[in-house]
Amino acid sequence: MTAEPQSAQQIAIISHSGLHEPWREILHMGTHLVMPRSHYNHQATTDCFYFIDKGKVRLTYTNALGEDHVVMFFGKGCIFNETSVITGDSTTMACFRVLEKTDVYRFPGSLLHDPAFASQYPHLLLNMLRGTATKFSNMFGVTYLIKHGTPLARVCRFLRQLSRSHNNVTTFPLDMTQIELASVLDIHRVSLFRCLQQLREQGVLLRFSRHEIELSGLDGLEAVLQEQEETDWG
């Protein structure tokens, strides 16, 4: 039994992969399923959780108005729906959407409440604890981003955090559409388009696609953010 190396985990602010790779050790205990790409949400359940062998799943929360807000994405080597299983909360507004053909292993929720399983595989439960804590920590970070400031300030903070999560580089992956990013930041997609255009005109943003972002540098981004925050605070 060995702890997984931290370098094996790809940790970003909104998109996760590899958080739970040690669970491959017990894939034989799960049921292999192939989930086709879907255009609808799967409600979170309390009776099972899933390990992603390959593919991509999006987590959203539905508010009282029936509007979906993107929270995060899970890729290869991630577990999802474990929170509902652990808490037993069947009233959660969490939903999952399969974004591409995805191979998963479904595990019975009873595993996470079984003392014998915990005794035999303590390293897996510790890994789940670490991974779940990482996801919630990043979710709180995103919550801060979308609760403060102008749309441009939110975009700048988000880009800064993405850069920080990749060792302060100026070119880094995004892996989401503009519509999804607008949902994450809780702004209208037209507002997002205007913010990106403004950053281009100021020479801060060189390239923006659903797969990758390139900035001219971090100083320019910080300058725009500082100006927005000063305006916001009066």
We report the CATH number of the domain holding residue 22 as 2.60.120.10
Provide mean pLDDT across the span 4-10: 35
Contact assessment for residue 80 and residue 57, using Cβ atoms and an 8 Å cutoff: yes
Identify the residue whose tokens are 């899970």.
Answer: 74
Residues spanned by the domain of 24: 6-137
Q: Are residue 46 and residue 20 in the same domain, yes or no?
A: yes
In the prediction, which pLDDT does 13 show? Answer: 60
In a domain? residue 142: no
Say if residue 18 is in the same domain as residue 127.
yes
Considering the domain architecture, whether residues 11 and 59 belong to the same structural domain is answered as: yes
97: its two tokens = 């959407």
Do both 109 and 23 map to the same domain? yes
Give a yes or no: residue 209 inside a domain: yes
**Residue 173 falls within a domain, yes or no?**
yes
pTM of the model: 0.78
**Among candidate residues 94, 115, 137, the one where a domain is terminated:** 137
End residue of a domain, out of 115, 137, 159: 137
Asked if residue 187 and residue 163 are part of one domain, the reply reads yes
Q: Is 18 left (phi over 0), alpha (psi -120 to 50) or beta?
A: left
Domain count, the chain: 2
Q: Cβ neighbours of residue 94 under 8 Å, at least 6 residues apart? A: 43, 44, 59, 60, 61, 71, 83, 84
Same domain? 107 vs 198: no
CA-to-CA distance for 204 and 11, rounded, in angstroms? 25
Q: Are residues 110 and 152 in the same domain?
A: no
Q: Is the pLDDT of residue 49 over 90?
A: yes
Residues 172 and 131 in one domain: no
Mean pLDDT computed over 19-28: 97
Q: Give pLDDT tens digits for 145-159.
A: 666 789 999 999 999
The mean-pLDDT minimum among 64-68, 120-124, 196-200 falls in 64-68
Last residue of a domain, one of 80, 113, 137: 137
Residue 1, in any domain of the structure: no
Task: Examine the domain organization and report whether 83 and 11 are in the same domain.
Answer: yes
Statement to judge: residues 159 and 95 lie in one domain: no
The predicted-structure confidence for 182-226, as pLDDT tens digits, reads as follows 988 889 999 999 999 999 999 999 999 988 999 999 999 999 999
